[in-house]
Amino acid sequence: MKQITLDPSNKVPPTRDHKDFPSHLPDAKEVKVSPKSTGGEDASLFFVGTATTIIEWEGIRLLTDPNFLHAGDHVHLGPGVTSTRVTNPAIDLHQVPHIDAILLSHYHADHFDQEVEAALRRSIPIVTTPHAHEHLTSKTDGEAFTNVHALDFFDSLVMNIKPSSSEGEEEEGSDSKKTRKPGIKVTGMPGKHVPPGPLAAANDLLGAVPPTNGWMLELGYFETSATEGRFECGYRIYISGDTLMVPELKEIPERYKGQNIDLMLVHLGGTTIPSPKLPLLMVTMDAVQGVQLMRLIDPDVTIPIHYDDYEAFLSPLSDFKKAVEEAGLADKIVYLDRSDQYNFKVKQGAKA
């Protein structure tokens, strides 16, 4: 299994063109928790907009699908396909504090915009698809990203978090002394922008819409002793990525049978191409498919993202809210506006 080490004490700017960067995120407009919360939250998710979130735990910050364009800015989504942003992000790119790693679901400008690509520090760790890895690492004239890690479907990477002391946190066991260190396991999940059939075959040939990943994040602790070492997951987050409700998604609950999924971030919007005036093809989930995914994955809590930021999004959040109510799933949803924060608790014991 691939491994990288993140050092939360090494505070460097996420961009290469801005030396003065904040030490922390701004205060959230509203802080929310699970409907079943019992308190003790020690981790958070801050919603920037589109599919951009910042996850914080154990001094580590993960940034997902960085898109910081403003209302009126345009992105290129394929041959002859552009879309205009209609919202502003919660914060600007140069208001982002230190970031330890980026999770990039796919190489599309509404997830990795042109300003982000130009500004980011080239050594920042990026976990992404093989397709995006090829593009990011093959740039010339010193523009190549140097710390990119490709994961295909169900490939995993472990992020070891460097402890504040070299010894980590020690526990006295019945047989030997154990050391507990925090870590994050990232696994690529299946996703498809284009439905199966002739259009998918044509897209594979032309490369118009890039391959996309979802992610399974497992936040937990490595426990090691003289005789064994194991990872105990304390909180599991499934991020759908830009996908439709395709058969490949059925493998996710099979692989994680008996393992609780605490949180799902579902990319919605019912994105259509080539344009809102000519909506020939839907390439992200609409409200109906979003509810279908909730039933398939069965997470404790679902947070919808990627639903109203671009003109190509034709399935508004109001459609999803209505579908959720009709499905009787309203008690398993938390809605975040841009600048809102969701706090959650990572358990420190074994968790299925």
pLDDT tens digits for range 135-181 = 999 999 999 999 999 999 999 999 999 986 544 555 555 445 678 89
pLDDT value of residue 279: 63
pLDDT value of residue 76: 84
**Residue-wise pLDDT tens digits, 89-118:** 999 999 999 999 999 999 999 999 999 999
Q: Give yes or no for residue 224 having a pLDDT over 50.
A: yes
Domain edges within the chain: 2-162+181-264+335-343
- Topology, domain 2-162+181-264+335-343: Metallo-beta-lactamase; Chain A (3.60.15)
- Residue 136: count other Cβ atoms within 10 Å of its Cβ: 23
Question: What's the chain's average pLDDT?
Answer: 90
Cα 25 to Cα 47, 64, 215, 250: the distances in Å are: 11, 15, 24, 36
pLDDT value of residue 288: 97
CA–CA separation, 231 and 39 (whole Å): 24
pLDDT band at 205 (very low <50, low <70, confident <90, very high): very low
Region 60-79 average pLDDT: 93
Residue 202 CB-density burial (10 A; 0-12 exposed, 13-18 middle, 19+ buried): exposed
Q: Look-up: residue for tokens 């925090």?
A: 182
Measured in whole angstroms, the distance separating CA 99 from the mean position of its chain's CA atoms is 14
Our separate counts of H helices and E strands in the chain read 6, 20
Region 294-309 average pLDDT: 97
Decide if 144 contacts 166 (C-beta within 8 A): no
Q: Angle CA(308)–CA(191)–CA(210) in degrees, nearest 5?
A: 80
H or E element: which one contains 53? strand 52-57
